[in-house]
């Protein structure tokens, strides 16, 4: 493999990592913001509520997005193996 190919695969790998992790991070941020807003309105100071809400929301998000994410990772790994070990 040439240096250009390695750089291309490294770039694709980093973008894939970003696109796979982005839905869970965005959901966690939005749920955390919403729960913090509700806590500020109701003056609740319980710290377990945001953690539980984020955990549930991120788990549901991962379950929904997992098939697409796994297919993308598998496609990337297959392309990489085909390039590294041509038949």
How many domains does the chain fold into? Answer: 1
Q: Are 9 and 80 in contact (CB under 8 A)?
A: yes
* Range(s) of the domain holding residue 26: 3-84
Residue 70 has pLDDT above 80, yes or no: yes
Mean pLDDT of all residues belonging to the chain:
91
Q: So what's the pLDDT on residue 48?
A: 81
Q: Are 20 and 73 in contact (CB under 8 A)?
A: yes
Q: Which residue has the higher pLDDT, 1 or 75?
A: 75
56-73 burial, b if ≥16 CB within 10 A, otherwise e? ebbeebeeebeeebeeee
When pLDDT is cut at 50, 70 and 90, the band that residue 33 belongs to is very high
Task: Report the pLDDT averaged over residues 21-45.
Answer: 91
- Please tell me the distance from the alpha carbon of residue 46 to that of residue 60, in angstroms, as a whole number: 23
CA atoms within 13 A on the CB side of 79: 14
């Amino acid at each position: 493999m040439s240096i250009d190919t390695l750089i291309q695969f490294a770039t694709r790998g980093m973008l894939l990592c970003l696109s796979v992790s982005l839905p869970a991070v965005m959901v966690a941020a939005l749920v955390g913001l919403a729960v913090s807003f509700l806590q500020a309105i109701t003056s609740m100071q319980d710290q377990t509520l945001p953690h539980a809400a984020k955990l549930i929301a991120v788990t549901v998000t991962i379950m929904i997005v997992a098939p697409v994410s796994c297919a993308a990772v598998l496609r990337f790994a297959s392309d990489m193996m085909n390039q590294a070990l041509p038949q």
